[in-house]
Structure formats: structure tokens, C-alpha cells
Structure 1
């Protein structure tokens, strides 16, 4: 099942380390089947606030996403990011092709106390 590394980049301090990080990151996730799905694109805020930028990297599974995150290659460049970029990063598994949100809705309704 596809998984994603999602970064909500909120503040970037201009620095040569940021350019180095960006130039090196692709080679760190390619061995794990990763690829950029969103990078540097403009986004539209429809509700709430979402300052900054969004980065999404897709992986074949959550295992590959975790392996990339913990890899020596990524750990070697991570300080280039963390010293100069503020934001949040998550790894999250996607849903399968047979996912049906109505099943979740029905379970939520069944868990409610009788009215």
C-alpha cells in the first residue's frame, strides 16, 4: 500500500545548506522507491490557515518510507534541513484501492450512545 512522507514547510532560512539538501535528497529516497509527488507547488488554502509550502514524497509502502527516513544517506543530510528549515514532517500510509469510507462512518454511528 502506498505511503507518503509529507512535510509542511513553514519557514526557510536562505542558506547554501538548503540548496545542498535539495540537490541531494532525491538520491536518498530513490533506492526505496520514493519519488516527489509535490515539491515547490503553489497551494490553495480553502479553510483555516496553511502558511508555507507542502512537500509530498510517495513510497511503495510505509516500510520503505521508514527505511528511507532511517537510512544513513538521509540521516547524513537531515541536519542541512533541520538547521535551516522549520516545519513538520510525517510518514503516513495510504488507503488501499478497496477502501470504503462508509464503513468508517457506519462504525462511528454504531459507537454513538442511543439518543
Structure 2
């Protein structure tokens, strides 16, 4: 199989663009001692990203705020959130969310 130079350059460029943003911060930050306040601040990044993703799925539909009365995903999120807070179990949270949404879609 022959590899055309333009296809090779596209693949190499895509690999470089994917590789550099992941490796450069790792290389730079491994040599620097991050202060305690910085580490505390960084510990909130995953929570903030997850909250933004979940909020967008629950509250926005078609680029606009979803109506709360017809939003079955939001209604299913309530028992799911409760189970997540009470049990701290990922499996329990996922199962509760899936079952809640399945039952709500079955009923409505």
C-alpha cells in the first residue's frame, strides 16, 4: 500500500496537534512546584467541568432554556442527585439515573 505524502502530512499534523497540548503542560508543570492554594483550586476543575456538562444537558434544549414542566431529564436528575449525595456510589447513581429516566419516558 502506497502512502501519499499529503495524506501522511495530514496524519502527522493531526497527531502533533493532539500530542502537544497534552504533553507540553505535563512537561512544564512536572518541573514546577505548585503552591497549596493552586492545588486546591485545581481540585475543583473536574467538578466544575462535570457540573457544566450536566447543567447544559438538563437545562438547555435547542439552544434555549427547556421548560421545567416537560423536562423529564431534570425530573430524573432529582432522585439521581439524591442517591449520589447519600451513597457516594457511582454504580448506584448511574443505575438510579437510568432507571428513573426509563420509567419517566415510559410514563410520559
TM over 0.5: no
Q: Normalization by structure 2: what TM-score?
A: 0.23
Using CA pairs under 8 Å that are at least 6 residues apart, name the structure with larger relative contact order, 1 or 2: 1
Larger radius of gyration: 2
Question: Greater share of helix residues, 1 or 2?
Answer: 2
Q: Normalization by structure 1: what TM-score?
A: 0.22
